[in-house]
């Protein structure tokens, strides 16, 4: 019998040196698909950075990549129809360079951020307005997407991106409705619902939690993404939409934000759920609770859902500024595994710019396959 002494000595030396190897977890299921999100900060960082990310994508077995292309008023490529929209850092076609560096043999989703601060300066009446009358300088209101210039520009951008690059999908992010109380929004609400005013509380204020407002928002968002899908479909490209996670009731979606999951899946190919558990002050294990509720609501359509594990921490879900800390590699890995439950087979980790060597190592140990 071989003596166990050499192995025991080796393990002891590793432990004493502080180099105890990480345990290798059971591999994820063979059909599990990993996607990595690449933000504008990496798209504009140059070829060396993109090459490094590409090597890591190979190492962790990523089958997909999402690549930010910018906003309707600030793009990472020269848009002939709107040359003034090109970002100053995008002196060449940075989107094409990112696709070439990262997209080989992978599913490519090109992501449009719908925030439009420059367009809102030109069209202030289309901005989101809260119930107290405060106007957003980043978000459009319901009418801005449904009937006005900002929505038209985003639809146009979906078609332009689909035609220029022919990705697997065009993605839409930051598309949710919270403040929909401008004059234009009220007129649209009355047109859609047949009412002659917002629902009111006893004190006369707008009843912002009234079910009719959630219904209105959900209809506006579904109709809008349907327009985006039609523009992309002209070039054989599908649409993927980011949605907020249903923390309060995993069987119900987020209708108050305009995110009625079944209604949206009638219009687009896929939904990507913001499973940003740290921003919502929840443990990574909550991911299993989410997928269970969504499976109850969606049935087999759960297979059209991607759970997105976000690495931002130190803030709240609805903040748009940078967060000051990052989810740990261990919590990220646990969130990824817990997301691949109840029929979900697709998970993403985003953004690549937040990933340390330890994050990449943790993903590699999960055993995803290309």
According to the model, what pLDDT value does residue 26 have? 77
CB 49, CB 95: distance < 8 Å? no
| Distance (Å) of CA 327 to CA 27, 87, 133, 336, 361 | 21, 30, 36, 12, 14
What's the pLDDT tens digit per position in 23-65? 566 789 999 999 999 999 999 999 999 999 999 999 999 999 9
CB 241, CB 314: distance < 8 Å? no
Q: For 172-201, give the DSSP string.
A: EES---S-B-SHHHHHHHHHHH--SS--B-
| Distance (Å) of CA 29 to CA 108, 123, 340, 341 | 22, 49, 9, 10
Nearest to 167 by CA among 78, 86, 66: 66
Cα gap 162→233, rounded to integer Å: 8
- Tokens standing for 276? 């940003």
Cα gap 310→101, rounded to integer Å: 23
Location of structure tokens 């004059």: 183
| Distance (Å) of CA 17 to CA 7, 21, 142, 154, 322 | 15, 11, 59, 55, 37
Nearest to 172 by CA among 252, 99, 68: 68
What's the pLDDT tens digit per position in 97-110? 999 999 989 999 99
- Tokens standing for 306? 């991607």
Q: What is the dihedral of CA 194, 196, 197, 203, to 10 degrees?
A: -120
According to the model, what pLDDT value does residue 22 have? 54
Q: Profile the chain (370 residues) by mean pLDDT over runs of 10 residues.
A: 42 44 73 97 96 98 98 95 86 94 96 97 96 97 96 98 98 98 98 96 96 98 98 98 97 97 98 95 96 98 98 67 79 98 98 98 96
- Tokens standing for 145? 């997407």
CB 176, CB 244: distance < 8 Å? yes
Location of structure tokens 């709240």: 316
């Amino acid at each position: 019998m071989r003596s166990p002494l050499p192995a025991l000595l080796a393990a002891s030396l590793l432990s004493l040196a502080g180099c105890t190897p990480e345990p290798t977890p059971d591999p994820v299921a063979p059909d599990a698909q990993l996607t990595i999100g690449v933000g504008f900060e990496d798209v504009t960082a140059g070829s060396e950075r993109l090459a490094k990310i590409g090597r890591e994508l190979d190492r962790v077995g990523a089958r997909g990549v999402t690549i930010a292309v910018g906003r309707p008023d600030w793009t990472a490529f020269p848009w002939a129809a709107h040359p003034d929209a090109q970002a100053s850092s995008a002196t060449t076609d940075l989107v094409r360079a990112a696709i070439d560096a990262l997209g080989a043999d992978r599913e490519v989703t090109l992501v449009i951020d719908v925030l439009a601060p420059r367009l809102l300066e030109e069209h202030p009446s289309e901005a989101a307005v809260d119930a107290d009358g405060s106007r957003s300088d980043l978000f459009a209101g319901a009418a801005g997407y449904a009937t006005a210039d900002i929505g038209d520009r985003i639809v146009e951008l979906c078609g332009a991106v689909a035609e220029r690059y022919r990705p697997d999908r065009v993605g839409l992010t930051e598309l949710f409705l919270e403040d929909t109380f401008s004059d234009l929004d009220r007129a649209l609400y009355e047109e859609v619902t047949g009412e002659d005013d917002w629902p009111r509380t006893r004190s006369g204020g707008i009843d912002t939690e009234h079910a009719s407002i959630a219904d209105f928002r959900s209809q506006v968002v579904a109709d809008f993404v349907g327009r985006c899908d039609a523009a992309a479909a002209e070039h054989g490209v599908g649409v993927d939409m980011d949605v907020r996670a249903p923390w309060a009731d995993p069987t119900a979606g987020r209708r108050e934000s305009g995110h009625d999951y079944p209604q949206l899946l009638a219009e687009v190919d896929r939904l990507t759920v913001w499973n940003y558990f740290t921003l919502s002050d929840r443990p990574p294990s909550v991911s299993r609770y989410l997928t269970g509720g969504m499976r109850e609501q969606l049935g087999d359509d759960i297979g059209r859902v991607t759970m997105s594990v976000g690495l931002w921490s130190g803030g709240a879900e609805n903040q748009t500024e940078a967060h000051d800390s990052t989810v740990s590699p261990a919590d990220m890995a646990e969130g990824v595994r817990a997301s691949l439950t109840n029929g979900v087979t697709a998970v993403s980790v985003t953004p690549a710019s937040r990933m340390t060597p330890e994050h990449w190592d943790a993903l590699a140990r999960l055993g995803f396959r290309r």
